Copies of this chain bind each other. A is one copy, B any other.
Amino acid sequence: MESKTLQFARRGRRLIGQEMFKVLERAKKIERYGQRVYHLELGNSSFPPPSTVIQTTIESLSNGHLGYVPSSGHPDLRAALAQHYAEGGRPWITEKYFVISPANLLINQVLDMTCNEGDVLVVFTPAFPTYIAAAEYIGLTLKAIALESEKGYHLTKQAIDQAVALKPKALIINSANNPTGAVYTHSSLEYLIQQCDRYGIWVLSDETYADLCYRWPYWSLSALEYRQLIVLSSFSKYYAIPGYRTGYALAHPTVASKLSLSCSTLFSCLPLFTQEGCVAALKVGESYLQEVCDHYSYITEHCAEIINQSGVLTCSVPEAAFYLFIDITQTKLSDHEFCRRLLQEWHTAVTPGSSFGPGLEKYVRVSVSGQKEDVLEGIRRLVEFSLHCKDGRPWLSSADTTPLRKVSHAV
């Protein structure tokens, strides 16, 4: 009983996924041959999460908190978030503004709720790959507005005017930015909302890395009461629990209750025990959080210095988060070729730049969120490989300077 050809629907045909997960899958295959791989492809923090988060989750599991909870999220977590934001000077924000859902899924949920197939979506590039994958999947007309590396990838008035002139149905903004680490100014964001309000444009503000802004105070769009604004964030990055897959949306209650119906339709609800862990996360003291920021501030600056002194690679120094967006032009390789060979020959996993938008084939993204020693070894390999490429020498000629064996049968 074999059918002839499999006919997928339009959405089925438009699925592209996230490139970094494809890189992870390739890396895992190499690891299955017993070969160590340096993982710089994903924002997988190796910083230990606050012990109360894990302890609370374990207690919740031990106490049998294994059932369903309301689709909008565990009431205690929504209340804790409301308190968190109210304390931050936004007293009008109540628990009705919050919906608990994985942050990556929220990107899809928000776009599907606000845009029809064919509608224009604006993103500022370099942009997080899921924006592009979700737009493609849903069938949106994606318009990418390139931010300039010379301007530190900052959001300019000109870029905003350009975006609004495209009359998009929705627009995604991501400060602090993945992959560039740029943090947008209060005035640029306020101008953005003014313009969007004028034209009735939905705004999705992805603030996943807001709390990892270590160079100056962060300004969140949640300070503005714009009904077509959805702020999204996650517990993954700040509290080092990406595996919890727990994030949230903050939006006007009318929008939030739509999102809650979306959660109910799509996945019923999230686990209670992870949500209870997140309640504990919101009570974690400043000292842990300061330590996290200090660490990422140090490691990003240090790695950027190595990159920029390499004589072959260049990058901006991030203002937030834990990524470096690295220009590989001098290696004369395309991003995919670069990543493929770096993984296969140097067992170091990084993500191709073109996943972050059109015209970025001369970049790769490196995550420095892992264990310091591993990150530094990965960066060393990245630089050595790049130097070999620049010099035009095959890497095998310098094989004796590195402890690696080529794994030819794995990838």
Contact = CB atoms under 8 A, between A and B. Distances in A.
A11 interface: yes
Given A17-B265, A105-B266, A261-B17, A9 B113 contact: yes
Interface in A279-337: none
A264 to B, nearest CB: 3
A91 interface: no
A162 interface: no
B116 A15 contact: no
A205 interface: no
By size class, the interface of chain A is 35 or more
A240 to B, nearest CB: 7
Nearest to A27: B70
A263 B104 CA distance: 10
Nearest to A224: B1
Contacts of A241: 66
Contact of A243 (B102, B115, B194, B273): B273
A80 B18 CA distance: 26
A133 B262 CA distance: 10
A158 interface: no
A16 B263 CA distance: 10
A90 B274 CA distance: 36
26 contacts: A1-B224, A1-B226, A2-B227, A3-B228, A6-B227, A8-B258, A9-B112, A9-B114, A9-B119, A15-B258, A17-B71, A17-B260, A18-B264, A28-B70, A54-B62, A58-B58, A58-B61, A61-B61, A65-B243, A104-B266, A117-B117, A133-B265, A243-B273, A245-B267, A245-B270, A271-B274
Given A3-B227, A6-B227, A68-B242, 12 more contacts: A11-B112, A12-B258, A15-B113, A15-B265, A17-B71, A24-B70, A66-B240, A66-B243, A66-B244, A105-B267, A134-B265, A243-B273
List 6 tightest A-B contacts by C-beta distance, closest first: A17-B264, A12-B113, A15-B261, A17-B261, A66-B243, A44-B67
